[in-house]
Structure 1
């Protein structure tokens, strides 16, 4: 299956405001040049994926846009040549929604989606745990064929995401496809609070922690969970990163440092090929055995965490190959109030694995079972592995 990357909770860093270009141009022309300049200076791929970026600018201004609507069309065509949907304009409403989401809350159905290039329709990465979409039984890799009766064929992901958002209490009808089955489902939109971490003590004195996304408060929530479980005397941990779509880069670093005493967490590589390493240099909150659960919905910042724990031999990974999203975006505020997300770097695991579009292969592969079985063989395999570690260490 070939995927083309689309809207979701990606891997983000700080936002910036760009200074407007020269005032000799009209407002629509200034917006086009402003976007061009940001991409010219920040984009991760110095060859602009095989395009002469100077020529792209000249082409964009050959017939200067006279209205802001025309400018938006020119910008979309210009950015489309990069073949990188992560680099895109975020209209003001979507820009605000992105800021809200990374703060830990959103309103809508609670889905992360990408574009399936085979069928040119949205493909579900994962439903957010506890969201209306999850309650409706939507699963990773379901395709969304229509939203409120409107075909999604060829629809861009920002538009699809926007149509699924809405006021709490309103409803949206999604037409889904899973294998050969097609069916409609009506979902009531809700305010989806995104508690990053839930935890409990499970049989066998196992501390179970589920991390659903990386928001501003995730590291503090994770620390609270580990400390609470340590106080209850657990012997080891299962960290569940399944269907975790990612989030804030900084949160991923901080959580990795809570599990690692030392070692590289991740490398970032910029457009000039220069590496920056982020390391753990403090004291982990626990050194007890750890197994991490991953699947096809484990993406972005959660792949950074999984890769750091695997490559540093801190944890065993169980489940399925992860999603494979290895680009980092910065979000710039444009002069018209919109946002511009630009891929500014890629990341590699501590063992220098570039996982973009490849994913991380778990140490023990266990497929996700059909929903109807009611079993969780991935968790059972994690417990079996953890039990062996506890016996080996005499815990």
Structure 2
């Protein structure tokens, strides 16, 4: 199953030590543990998009703490039940006391006081029965950030694929202004050899290991272009490459193709660069591919949508207090052109904001299969030890006030997916083929003189 990425706002842990319980936690249960318990409790009670029952929160914390102790080998943990009162500070003190007592009673080499704090926090968040409201360990939070913002590695800036007919490694894309781009590598080039080694029969991982290497080192490529080997090999000096979230290329008949893998920190800027390049090459229509895109940052969704929607609302966000904030387009759209947005069942969250906005505004045609249906927004608060709490804080509505949560977006043109598609490759991607045919007809209609014109 594909990962559905949370539609995110990023929060900052802010805590006043004056709010801490008077008693100083002991026996390994430290000040930071107490802070994180109180912070999580207060954020869940005040920010979750539905009313929260304090007793349910305490029960969730208690039950998950017991479950964790049992999982770690404590046969019959004696942890008293907690009873909520109207005073939130008292409830937090009860949480502190429960974890502190558990640390004292069940000291073990198999787990740390922080592990018990994590189990209690996870139980609190799980009490609201919302799949997107969860605790993230430092490792999980780092993975979320890496998935949204990409990684940096030393390489050439070539995106590769294997040609199933010839078995050679080919260039599916080139990172703009990267080492390969500056050296003259082009989309659809065949990498015949890498440092004298043929690429025929290599896996993607094997070829990637040849192209990557220490920054400042040189790799030499023998390149085949348009069926013929180039007269001279191309040498590329490896440099830091930031993983892209936007990939683009020109399809036949000047149809620009742009695929987004995630709505990350740099996606808006990357899309601007890609569209500028395609427009310079004479693009007359566009395919925006959001298939398998599980979402990301809300602001990135607004930035992406604004490249195609010149003005007006993009999305409305409704909080628990029924306060509705409508976010308008950034007024930096490209000139109008025929547009198809490709979607499928793994198009979710921020991808659905963009799909819904484009559909409601009428600037493009949604094509593919029904989207996932994630219409809620999360805030993520990073905690001081590198962990984080992620809480659903609002739902969102499309410009026409549609709530797509659990419902999804129905395409304007339903197009089934072929078995084992290679997304973005004509001849291996039926949905893309239909999109191109649709746009070719649109281009022909725009090029035809109006009836009665001279």
- Residue 393 of structure 2 corresponds to 344
Structure-1 separation of matches of 2:3 and 2:442: 40
d(CA) in 2 for partners of 1:370 and 1:335? 46
Mapped pair 1:211 → 2:207: no
Q: Which of 89, 94, 98 in structure 2 is aligned with 1:64?
A: 98
Alignment-derived partner of residue 85 in structure 1: 131
For residue 11 of structure 2, the aligned residue among 11, 15, 22 is 15
1:392 CA drift (Å): 2.6
Aligned equivalent of 1:375: 428
* 8 A Cα contact 1:46 1:272, kept in partner: no
Cα gap change, 1:355 to 1:81, in 2 (>3 Å): same
**Structure 2 residue ranges without an equivalent (≥5):** 62-81, 84-90, 104-112, 154-158, 162-204, 213-240, 449-454
Q: Alpha-carbon deviation of 1:393?
A: 2.1
The one-character-per-residue Cα deviations of 1:350-387 (angstroms, maximum 9, x if unpaired) are 11111122211100111111117963221122122212
Which of 21, 36, 59 pairs up with 2:41? 36
TM-score w.r.t. the length of structure 2 is: 0.62
Change (3 A) 1:392 1:285: same
Shift of 1:286: 2.3
3-state DSSP of counterpart to 1:291: strand
Check conservation: 1:18, 1:333, Cα contact below 8 A: no
Note closer, same or farther for the CA distance 1:313–1:361 as it changes in structure 2 (3 Å cut): same
Q: Could you state the TM-score of these two structures normalised by the residue count of structure 1?
A: 0.71
- In structure 1, distance between residues paired with 2:7 and 2:51: 20
What is the alpha-carbon distance in structure 2 between the residues aligned to residue 94 and residue 344 of structure 1?
A: 20
- Tell me, what secondary structure is at the counterpart of 1:375? coil
SS in 2 for 1:277: strand
Q: CA deviation at 1:321?
A: 0.6
**Structure 1 residue 214, shift from structure 2 partner:** 1.3
RMSD of the TM alignment (CA)?
3.1
Task: Tell whether 2:257 aligns with 1:259.
Answer: no
Distance 2:126 2:364 in 1: 40
Among 275, 278, 295, which residue is 1:226 paired with?
275
**Number of aligned pairs?**
314
Indicate yes or no: 2:369 matched with 1:320.
yes
Alignment counterpart, residue 22 of structure 2, candidates 21, 24, 34: 24
| Bigger relative contact order (CA 8 A; separation at least 6) | 1
Task: Name the structure with the higher strand share.
Answer: 1
Looking at structure 2, the residues matched to 255 and 305 of structure 1 have their Cα atoms a distance apart, in angstroms, of: 7
SS in 2 for 1:354: coil
Q: 5+ residue gaps in structure 1?
A: 108-128, 132-186
How far apart, in 2, do the equivalents of 1:193 and 1:255 lie?
19
Matches within 5 A, 1:350-361: 350-361=399-410
